Amino acid sequence: MSAPTNPTSNPAGSAAGNGTTGRPVWLKLVFFLSLIAFGAAILYYVNRPAPMTPSTPTAIKTAPVELGDVEFRLRIVGSTTAMNTAAITGPRQSGPDSGAMMILRMADSGKFVRKGDVVAEIDPQTLQDHIDDTVAGLRDRENDVKKKQIQQELDTENLRQSLRVAKASLDKARLDFTAQEVRTAVDQEMLKLAVEEAEAAYKQISSEVALREQSQKADMRMTQISRDLEIAHVQRHERDLVKYVIRAPIDGMVVIESMNRPGGDRVQMAPGDRVMPGMPFMRVVDTSRMLIDATVNQSESNLFRLGQRATINLDAFPGAKYTGKIDSIGALAVGGRSQNYYIRTLPVRLVMDSRDERVIPDLSASADVLLEKTEQVLTVPLTAVSAEMDRKVVQVRTAKGFEKRVVKTGLSDGVKVAVLEGLKQGEQVLIN
């Protein structure tokens, strides 16, 4: 009788089953290693070193020792202004009730005018209406004077008539008193009292006449002063009316001032705008003599002197060059709110030599001021000179190569430097 078979106990079957289930593991390992190798190849390709190329030798730069001038200049910046400028302002009125005035007409900005030409007119209508009212008031004052004079003459005549009556009464009383011998004692006493009474009345009226005349003179004078004040009032306004036609005080170019509009906009003044007495709204600029107003740092102010020459550049005209000289240097250093307390500048003014009608005020400008100059000296580029300890040396080309040589330098303009000792004209020096 045979034993029953057990499929799970077959060795061959077990081996075959293990081989079948283990094959994917080594395949995965091979695939993983292949990926690593492929990634390494890509990384090597990307970061591979560049192929070696033969290097070209660096060119040696040299410069000759030349004979020339060296100028040391310092640049300052500022803006243009005119030496002779006349401000046109709202007419200052002598009348007691002056106020804002409206511009009726004005010359165009940039127009050249001659002395005496009309450059602006103020609307005179308001002032003319006021003058008419003032003239009417003046007529009333003159009528008051005439009326007062007639009234005083009448009062004076009435008082004098009263004085004549008192004089006649006094004469009659004295005449009656001369006949006292034929009168009784009582009548004599009555006549004497009548004379005394008439004399007292006459003296009183006489004194009133003198006082009345003084009073009338004073009253008349007050009325006349009131009239004279009104006359002066009218005359002041008439003089003010003449000022409403504004003429150029000098020959020059018209420059219109700017003003702030409500909302922050800044625009030029124009007809229809209002100006107050003394308010500037225009300038007449004599462009024949233009200046440059600039500033210099206080630490450099000792380098500047009156009469130093300068080359002037204007940002508005890049290709133009002008010459000038320092005309004045401020005595006190000033600072601004936006600057550090210790940063101070001095005002410097330069006068331009030549005239250019294109140059107007308030153009940004710069001036290269000539502070020092050395003429006809040996010069080399500043980069050819190096410092070793406390010496200045250059590399001079010779037949055997470059030779280090100690030199004595002088003035430099920032590009080239003067060589006072150590070199000869025509030698070649190495530029570092």
Section 398-411 average pLDDT: 91
Per-residue pLDDT at 18 exceeds 50: no
Best mean pLDDT range from 86-95, 143-152, 303-312, 350-359: 303-312
Of the listed ranges 21-30, 33-42, 188-197, 309-318, the one predicted with least confidence: 21-30
pLDDT at residue 406 in the model: 93
Per-residue pLDDT at 80 exceeds 90: yes
The sign of the CA dihedral 418, 423, 427, 429 is negative
> For residue range 131-169, what is the model confidence (pLDDT) as tens digits?
888 888 888 888 888 898 888 888 888 888 888 888 888
pLDDT at residue 203 in the model: 86
- Binned at pLDDT 50, 70 and 90, residue 386 comes out as very high
What is the number of structural domains in the chain?
Answer: 1
| CB < 8 Å & 24+ apart, contacts of 114-119 | 114/248, 114/251, 115/247, 115/248, 115/249, 115/250, 115/251, 116/247, 116/248, 117/247, 117/248, 118/245, 118/246, 118/247, 118/248, 119/88, 119/246, 119/247, 119/248, 119/254, 119/282, 119/284
- Binned at pLDDT 50, 70 and 90, residue 14 comes out as very low
- Binned at pLDDT 50, 70 and 90, residue 170 comes out as confident
Instruction: Kindly state whether residue 235 falls inside one of the protein's structural domains.
Output: yes
pLDDT at residue 48 in the model: 65
Task: Return mean pLDDT, the chain.
Answer: 83
Section 181-202 average pLDDT: 80
CA distances from 289 to 196, 295, 311 (A): 94, 20, 16
pLDDT at residue 338 in the model: 56
Q: Is 431 helix (H, G, I), strand (E, B) or coil?
A: coil
Instruction: Kindly state whether residue 62 falls inside one of the protein's structural domains.
Output: no
Per-residue pLDDT at 268 exceeds 80: yes
Cβ atoms of 77 and 294 within 8 Å: the answer is yes
Closest of 299, 147, 319 to residue 220, by C-alpha = 147
Instruction: Kindly state whether residue 48 falls inside one of the protein's structural domains.
Output: no
Of the listed ranges 11-20, 65-74, 220-229, 360-369, the one predicted with least confidence: 11-20
Whole-angstrom distance, CA of residue 401 vs CA of residue 403: 7
Per-residue pLDDT at 354 exceeds 90: no
Q: Which domain holds residue 161?
A: 124-242
Per-residue pLDDT at 336 exceeds 80: no
pLDDT at residue 30 in the model: 72
Instruction: Kindly state whether residue 185 falls inside one of the protein's structural domains.
Output: yes
Instruction: Kindly state whether residue 12 falls inside one of the protein's structural domains.
Output: no
Which residue(s) pair with 78 in the sheet?
294, 365
Q: ∠266-268-269 over CA atoms, to 5°?
A: 120
Whole-angstrom distance, CA of residue 419 vs CA of residue 416: 10
pLDDT at residue 35 in the model: 75
Of the chain, the percentage scoring pLDDT greater than 70 comes to 87
Whole-angstrom distance, CA of residue 58 vs CA of residue 246: 75
Of the chain, the percentage scoring pLDDT greater than 90 comes to 33
Q: What is the DSSP string of 28-57?
A: HHHHHHHHHHHHHHHHHHHTPPPPP-PPPP
Whole-angstrom distance, CA of residue 416 vs CA of residue 413: 6
Instruction: Kindly state whether residue 202 falls inside one of the protein's structural domains.
Output: yes
Instruction: Kindly state whether residue 158 falls inside one of the protein's structural domains.
Output: yes
Residues 6+ apart with CB under 8 A from 109: 254, 255, 256, 268
pLDDT at residue 24 in the model: 67
Instruction: Kindly state whether residue 166 falls inside one of the protein's structural domains.
Output: yes
Q: What is the DSSP string of 262-290?
A: TTS-EEE--TT-EE-TT-EEEEEEEEEEE
Best mean pLDDT range from 13-27, 118-132, 186-200, 253-267: 118-132
pLDDT at residue 53 in the model: 52
Residue 90 DSSP class: P
Per-residue pLDDT at 23 exceeds 70: no
Q: What Rg, from alpha-carbon coordinates, does the chain have?
A: 55
Closest of 85, 96, 97, 98 to residue 244, by C-alpha = 98
